[in-house]
Amino acid sequence: MSINLNKRRVVVTGLGVVSSIGIGIDEFWKNLLAGKSGISKVSSFDVSKHDRKYAGEVKNFDPQEFVSKRKIPFMGRASQLAIAASKLALKDAGLKVKKVSSSKTGVCMGTTMGEPQIMETLDEECFLKKEYVIDKNSAFSYPASSIVNNISLDYGLNKRTILFSNACAAGNYSIGHALDLIRSGKADMMFAGGADAFSRISFTGFSRLYAMAPEKCQPFDKNRKGMIPAEGAGMLLLETYESAKRRGARIYAEVLGYGLSCDAHHMTNPSSKGIAKAIKKAVDNANVNPFQIDYISAHGTGTPENDKAECKAIKSVLGKRVKDIPISSIKSMLGHTMGAAAAIEAVACCLAIYNREVPPTINFEEKDPECDIDCVPNKSRKMGIDVALNNSSAFGGNNCCVVFKKV
């Protein structure tokens, strides 16, 4: 019997998350619905000379719970967060390491910064301590590809690994590519997600761009003042619908399709046309129409330009229907986790579909006429969701939207 591989249905059966509001989906989802903020004063390094002092750090993460003690010195924090998210997703899917190691399984990961803390350590040794000998283990751990390689090595997967480094949309890119690999028959199961560790480099960089809010992130609010940098990791375990049904797995959602665009409009300012193009491609690729869309997880960074451009883009694709669709930003609670953002938001989409409840946009105080949407202000909402869009954008005009559907 022949199988049309392009018609293979791909579903999400495992979810893993490490974030400033919780590690593991139970804690994460409970705090997300409660509107709990994970933003606090930076504690991992001295910010006394910075104008901004708040971020979404993961305070209670112990890598030894997920990574063997002997391996920890040989990997950066982003790799540790990614491995933790992958193991949480694997456990959530009810699978053993042996199962994924022996099958056609791969890993797709997204990141913005890679392993910046390793560079910071090398910088301290070379320029502050005047020690010009670089430790070879640190040098080998620095490339961004080490994130996906460390996951692959942990599970004995030596094929089908790829890292997307196109910034804050990278998590969605990884999910889209994993979808393609499974549909084409090149893989049967995929880990897909994103990870980024908090660092002085990213904190200082966004501070110098004047893109950061003083204390809180207020997506779509008239008086929003910017984003709040954060760290974390999100992971989805994808497999065919047939294999999930065969093993009696819990299915959170089906991945229907995705859309990409690279408008190259500006290095930092988004283009509403570029965002709209990715959303339109995703809707067409998933073969859904605007009347089927029940929820949109927005990129929603809280910067004046991003929120305005995103709202304009969504309206241009969905028209009058946009007023009937809840569109929330969980960055209001987590902060902006960079390359992990779209992946964590994809986790939230799957949980929203499965649990029939939409997370809120917190810190919302005053409506902006240019962001005239239902942003689910300050309180979660119970509602049935059949189709959800996960929208993401990145510097340089890299946009990606992924469509999930209830099974």
The catalytic residue positions are 168, 299, 336
Whole-Å CA distances, 211 to 126, 303, 345: 30, 7, 21
For the chain, the first-to-last Cα distance in angstroms comes to 25
Q: Is 127 exposed, middle or buried (0-12, 13-18, 19+ CB in 10 A)?
A: exposed
Per DSSP, the three-state class of 43 is coil
Q: Which residues pair with 105 in a beta bridge?
A: 189
Token pair of 382, please? Answer: 């119970």
Per DSSP, the three-state class of 390 is strand
Identify the CA nearest to 392 among candidates 346, 323, 332.
Answer: 346
- How many CA atoms are closer than 13 Å to the CA of 335, on its beta-carbon side? 36
For residues 351 and 342, give the distance between their C-alpha atoms in angstroms, rounded to a whole number: 14
30's CB contacts (< 8 A; 6+ apart) are: 22
Q: Are the beta carbons of 310 and 368 closer than 8 angstroms?
A: no
Per DSSP, the three-state class of 114 is coil
Distance of CA 352 to the CA centre of its chain: 15
